[in-house]
């Protein structure tokens, strides 16, 4: 089995942050996702793009980190755009019924301008049940 070392890269420009993840997202590397997202949130971006194109494998710990990162981003009032969900991660999301929670959406297909991200997040918060960072997955799916 070939292992792919995990890397994360964070770039924040003009209120838009991009977190690029690559390699295997598992129990050992999952904390790096939250570190990268927290580093972005410290700069108070309007939007965060989570690029998963380079993620070759994701286990339950990695999935939990991605879902917690989503929660942190939305609670901070930023919009979340997810790109590059591979077949393995898409299957994992589908198996647990969470494919709508971490749905792939890119800037090219978005109909909402970036400067309206806060209003989008506020509307989404009203439509979704409250989610805490420590909420079990079954509560996230409600």
Per-residue pLDDT of 92-142, as tens digits, reads: 999 999 888 887 765 443 433 333 333 444 444 344 444 334 444 444 444
DSSP label at residue 68? H
The SS3 assignment for 80 reads strand
Rounded to 5 degrees, what angle do the CA atoms 60, 105, 97 make?
40
Say if residues 34 and 61 touch (Cβ distance below 8 Å).
Answer: no
Q: pLDDT, tens digit, for every residue of 31-88? A: 999 999 999 999 999 999 999 999 999 999 999 999 999 999 999 999 999 999 999 9
Q: If 0-12 CB within 10 Å is exposed, 13-18 middle and 19+ buried, where does residue 31 land? A: exposed
Model confidence band, residue 2 (pLDDT cutoffs 50, 70, 90): low
Give 40-44's long-range contacts (Cβ < 8 A, gap of 24+).
Answer: 40/10, 40/12, 41/72, 41/73, 41/76, 41/78, 43/12, 43/17, 44/76, 44/78
Q: Taking the complete model, does pTM exceed 0.75, yes or no?
A: no
Q: For residue 36, what is the enclosing H or E element?
A: helix 30-41
pLDDT at 126: 44
pLDDT at 30: 96
The yes-or-no verdict on residue 7 having pLDDT over 60 is yes
pLDDT at 8: 92
Model confidence band, residue 1 (pLDDT cutoffs 50, 70, 90): low
pLDDT at 116: 34
The SS3 assignment for 48 reads strand
């Amino acid at each position: 089995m070939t292992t792919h070392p995990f890397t994360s890269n964070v770039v924040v420009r003009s209120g838009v942050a991009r977190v690029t993840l690559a390699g295997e997202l598992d129990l050992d590397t999952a904390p790096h996702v939250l570190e990268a997202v927290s580093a972005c949130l410290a700069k108070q971006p309007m939007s965060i793009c989570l690029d998963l194109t380079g993620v070759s494998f994701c286990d339950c710990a990695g999935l939990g980190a991605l879902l917690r990162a989503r929660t942190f981003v939305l609670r901070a009032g930023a919009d979340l755009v997810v790109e590059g969900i591979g077949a393995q991660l898409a299957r994992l999301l589908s198996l647990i019924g969470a494919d709508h929670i971490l749905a792939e959406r890119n800037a090219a297909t978005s109909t909402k301008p970036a400067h309206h991200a806060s209003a989008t997040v506020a509307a989404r918060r009203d439509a979704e049940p409250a989610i805490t960072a420590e909420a079990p997955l079954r509560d996230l799916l409600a």
